[in-house]
A and B are shown apart, each in its own frame.
Chain A
Amino acid sequence: MMLQQQREVDAEYLLFQAKREKAFLTGSEAVAEAIKRANVDMSVGYPITPQSEAMQLIGELYQMGYLQDYYRAENEFAVMASIHGASLGGGRVFTSTSGPGTLRAMEMFPVWAGARQPIVCAFMCRGLSLPPSIQPENIEMGMLLNTGMIMLHAETVQDYFDMILGAYAIAEQPEVHLPIGVFADGFFLTHTRESVTLPPSDIKLKTYNPSAAPVPCFNSETPPLRITRDPLLNKSNAISYGANASWHQEILSASIRSKKHINRYIGGSLETENPDAGIMIVASGTAVSQSREALRILHKMGIRAGLVKIKTIRPFPGEELAAATARASLILVPEFNAEGWLSREVMASLDRNSRVVSGPRVFGGMTMPPNLIVNEILSRIS
């Protein structure tokens, strides 16, 4: 397949107005379809299951001419460092990784946020070692909660496509300019096929304009001369501490400012079903789909329950969640990890958090049958 001529369009047109056609795609293929339309300059990859296929497909896009540069780096830390360098040079970049790769690269993520870079990275979550597991699990998300990056969690293949494109639109807002991690539960999303709708592939996002960035990039075209750490490193005085602290605060503020753009480009931080129900399930990622099945089973049993799908883990929509669960007397948080990071976020956001049941949780490769959720609810209301 050869490169087709692509017209640059607004993110709004690409995401919402362009006529969409049906396709039947795996999550990995949906990532490539999103990047095909994202007008990315450069991508760097490193193989790890279950992410490898997506980055191979990006390589094919490069071979066809949709990206201008692409290579397989020496490890994930080097991938994230190279992407950081390319973004400092003013390029629009993309990469992805999974589980142990995420942890190997960990030192770079706060650097992206601190350097105020609109990097989009797809995380295809899996288990870590030890005990070793390549199976679906999203424990790594719990470890990335405090890196300064915006975190979106996809439930479906459609979400993954839309969120990756939306992520560029959100991240590149001058008042945001933060990295965005777009997370999916590995295998469940990456390796299963779903029906999706896609805008045509002859349109793409507008070219990234680095001169609109809140901090100048390193291309020696625009004064002032810069150092990435400016006054912030190793000066033992109050001015340095203040500059460092205010820089941190600005990262947090930028994350809060992203909310209106999150509303605009991915339709808000959360979605609610049956908001007036006394029993609410709060979930993110594929646990949402399992919860939808649980609602269906409960409905047949004559039990009314509701569901809150959380789409943005950072910034965490605490106030919106509190409003959405205000009438609930029982709140369940099913998760695909041993630690229960989402339930802690939920509990920290709600009053009367004794209403929150932290679970059911599955990990180590286990699936989450809807009946697990149903039985948990039945045991609490009987």
Chain B
Amino acid sequence: MRNLFQVSAAFEDIMPAEYKSLIENGPFGGDKGVTDLGTFKELLEEHPLCAGCGLALSLRLILASLPNPEHTIIVGSTGCSALAFPQAAVHNIHSLFGNQNAVASGLKRALSLRFPDVVKDVVVIAGDGATADIGLDMVMHSWFRQERITTIMLDNEAYANTGGQESGMSQEGAVLNMAPKGKNFSKISVPELAWASGCAYVAAVTPANPRKLQSAVRRGILAARETGSSYIQVYSPCPTNYKFKPNQTIEKVKSREKDGTYQVREYISDEAQLLFDRLEEVKNG
């Protein structure tokens, strides 16, 4: 598959250095991971997101964790992450706000029809507003239907791109735009909704633990290939709208884990567990 990205000899002298670098030292082939960051050409670079953006960090880690980047199609949605994808060397579909899981359902099915013998991973990466609010019906119905897709929520607990409005994922009491008296209902338990909706693999993780995040992304994608839908929630705090210093993002994550208001957790179906055990066995020879 690396051959697909080879530059035609006639164009070698005019191809951008970034493209050549991706071919020579990129993650294609799937043998790179978060522990290799800094040693290879990443899929995401020079994104326009804010300094200290938790979402940008999570996205960087997620893209480095993809097991099959050359055959991965990301379906996104409106929000801050949509500003990063034009800077990412991966197929990205940004259709509208909230329809990402419906688009991904049709896409995955069409790819399965056209390429029955090739693994094509369809991964939804969208914000908390897109996933838990405006698109929740389509997100949950994709799970009910057991669509073979992975849904990743970049949870910054706000509509950040529109200027910091309260979302269903904001904590109760959070004072944000459109919740001037404080949000009056609790953070939606999307991981538990996902589990109850029949997802084969569910995880809530943070960028403070990159290895755990990578494991969740890989497990989610593997589960989606072979068993059913999967959901991964990544807490990605927003310094701009929550008004903390850009260098405190990881501290913020850790303090929320410590006080129990953001709980890292994992739900694995028996079938998915069998799959992971089998793959571990193969890997360990």
**A contact residues vs B (CB 8 Å cutoff):** 41-42, 44, 68-69, 71, 73-75, 77-79, 81-91, 93, 107-108, 111, 115, 218-221, 223, 225-231, 233-235
Q: Does B131 contact A (CB under 8 A)?
A: no
Q: Is the beta-carbon distance between A229 and B120 smaller than 8 angstroms? A: no
Nearest 5 interchain pairs by C-beta: A85-B106, A89-B110, A82-B106, A86-B106, A81-B102
Q: Is the beta-carbon distance between B5 and A75 smaller than 8 angstroms? A: no
Q: Is the beta-carbon distance between B96 and A227 smaller than 8 angstroms? A: no
A82 CA / B109 CA spacing, docked (Å): 9
Interface SS of chain B: helix, strand, loop or mixed? Answer: helix
Given contacts A78-B99, A85-B110, A219-B111, 5 further A-B contacts (CB under 8 A): A88-B106, A89-B107, A90-B110, A227-B93, A234-B83
Chain B nearest Cβ from A254, distance in angstroms: 20
A42 CA / B109 CA spacing, docked (Å): 9
Q: Nearest A residue to B71 by beta-carbon distance?
A: A220
Chain B nearest Cβ from A66, distance in angstroms: 14
A-side contacts of B70, CB under 8 Å: 220
Q: Is the beta-carbon distance between A230 and B86 smaller than 8 angstroms? A: yes
Q: Is the beta-carbon distance between A78 and B113 smaller than 8 angstroms? A: no
A-side contacts of B83, CB under 8 Å: 233-234
Q: Does B233 contact A (CB under 8 A)?
A: no
Q: Nearest B residue to A74 by beta-carbon distance?
A: B141
Chain A nearest Cβ from B240, distance in angstroms: 16
Chain B nearest Cβ from A177, distance in angstroms: 17
Chain B nearest Cβ from A120, distance in angstroms: 15
* 8 Å CB contact of B113 from A68, A81, A115: A68
A81 CA / B101 CA spacing, docked (Å): 9
**B contact residues vs A (CB 8 Å cutoff):** 4-5, 70-73, 75, 82-83, 85-86, 88-96, 99, 102-111, 113-115, 120, 137-138, 141, 145
Most chain-B Cβ atoms within 10 A of its Cβ — which of A69, A73, A88, A231? Answer: A88
A-side contacts of B75, CB under 8 Å: 85
A83 CA / B75 CA spacing, docked (Å): 14
A-side contacts of B111, CB under 8 Å: 89-90, 219
Q: Is the beta-carbon distance between B89 and A225 smaller than 8 angstroms? A: yes
A88 CA / B105 CA spacing, docked (Å): 11
B-side contacts of A83, CB under 8 Å: 106
Chain A nearest Cβ from B220, distance in angstroms: 19
A111 CA / B100 CA spacing, docked (Å): 13
Q: Is the beta-carbon distance between A71 and B96 smaller than 8 angstroms? A: no
Q: Nearest B residue to A78 by beta-carbon distance?
A: B102
Q: Given that A78-B137, A227-B85 are contacting pairs, would A219 and B120 also be in contact in the complex, using a CB cutoff of 8 Å?
A: yes
A139 CA / B112 CA spacing, docked (Å): 38
Chain A nearest Cβ from B142, distance in angstroms: 9
Q: Is the beta-carbon distance between A223 and B4 smaller than 8 angstroms? A: yes
A234 CA / B85 CA spacing, docked (Å): 12
Q: Is the beta-carbon distance between B91 and A220 smaller than 8 angstroms? A: yes
A347 CA / B246 CA spacing, docked (Å): 60
Q: Given that A73-B141, A81-B138, A82-B102 are contacting pairs, would A218 and B91 also be in contact in the complex, using a CB cutoff of 8 Å?
A: yes
Chain A nearest Cβ from B113, distance in angstroms: 5
A-side contacts of B96, CB under 8 Å: 81, 107-108, 111
**17 examples of A-B residue contacts, CB within 8 angstroms:** A44-B106, A78-B138, A83-B106, A85-B75, A85-B106, A86-B107, A89-B106, A89-B110, A108-B95, A108-B96, A218-B107, A219-B114, A219-B115, A220-B91, A227-B92, A229-B82, A234-B82
Q: Given that A73-B141, A78-B141 are contacting pairs, would A86 and B110 also be in contact in the complex, using a CB cutoff of 8 Å?
A: yes
Q: Given that A91-B114, A218-B73, A223-B5 are contacting pairs, would A69 and B109 also be in contact in the complex, using a CB cutoff of 8 Å?
A: yes
Q: Is the beta-carbon distance between B110 and A233 smaller than 8 angstroms? A: no
A281 CA / B73 CA spacing, docked (Å): 52
Q: Nearest A residue to B100 by beta-carbon distance?
A: A81
Chain A nearest Cβ from B16, distance in angstroms: 12
Chain B nearest Cβ from A121, distance in angstroms: 14
A348 CA / B143 CA spacing, docked (Å): 49
B-side contacts of A111, CB under 8 Å: 95-96
Most chain-B Cβ atoms within 10 A of its Cβ — which of A86, A87, A89, A218? Answer: A89
Q: Is the beta-carbon distance between B103 and A88 smaller than 8 angstroms? A: yes
Q: Is the beta-carbon distance between A227 and B114 smaller than 8 angstroms? A: no
Chain A nearest Cβ from B123, distance in angstroms: 12
Q: Nearest A residue to B141 by beta-carbon distance?
A: A74
Q: Is the beta-carbon distance between A88 and B107 smaller than 8 angstroms? A: yes
A228 CA / B95 CA spacing, docked (Å): 7
Q: Is the beta-carbon distance between B86 and A42 smaller than 8 angstroms? A: no
Chain B nearest Cβ from A145, distance in angstroms: 21
A-side contacts of B92, CB under 8 Å: 226-228
A218 CA / B108 CA spacing, docked (Å): 10
A-side contacts of B91, CB under 8 Å: 218, 220, 225-227
Q: Is the beta-carbon distance between B73 and A84 smaller than 8 angstroms? A: no
Q: Is the beta-carbon distance between A233 and B106 smaller than 8 angstroms? A: no
A44 CA / B103 CA spacing, docked (Å): 12
B-side contacts of A88, CB under 8 Å: 93, 103, 106-107, 110
A-side contacts of B110, CB under 8 Å: 41-42, 69, 85-91, 93
Q: Nearest B residue to A67 by beta-carbon distance?
A: B113
Q: Is the beta-carbon distance between B86 and A82 smaller than 8 angstroms? A: no
A-side contacts of B108, CB under 8 Å: 85, 89
A-side contacts of B4, CB under 8 Å: 221, 223
Q: Is the beta-carbon distance between B120 and A86 smaller than 8 angstroms? A: no
A-side contacts of B95, CB under 8 Å: 81, 84-85, 108, 111, 115, 228
Q: Nearest B residue to A79 by beta-carbon distance?
A: B102
A115 CA / B94 CA spacing, docked (Å): 11
Chain B nearest Cβ from A85, distance in angstroms: 3
Q: Nearest B residue to A226 by beta-carbon distance?
A: B91
A218 CA / B73 CA spacing, docked (Å): 7
Chain A nearest Cβ from B126, distance in angstroms: 13
A115 CA / B115 CA spacing, docked (Å): 22
A-side contacts of B72, CB under 8 Å: 220
Chain B nearest Cβ from A87, distance in angstroms: 7
A226 CA / B86 CA spacing, docked (Å): 9
B-side contacts of A221, CB under 8 Å: 4, 115
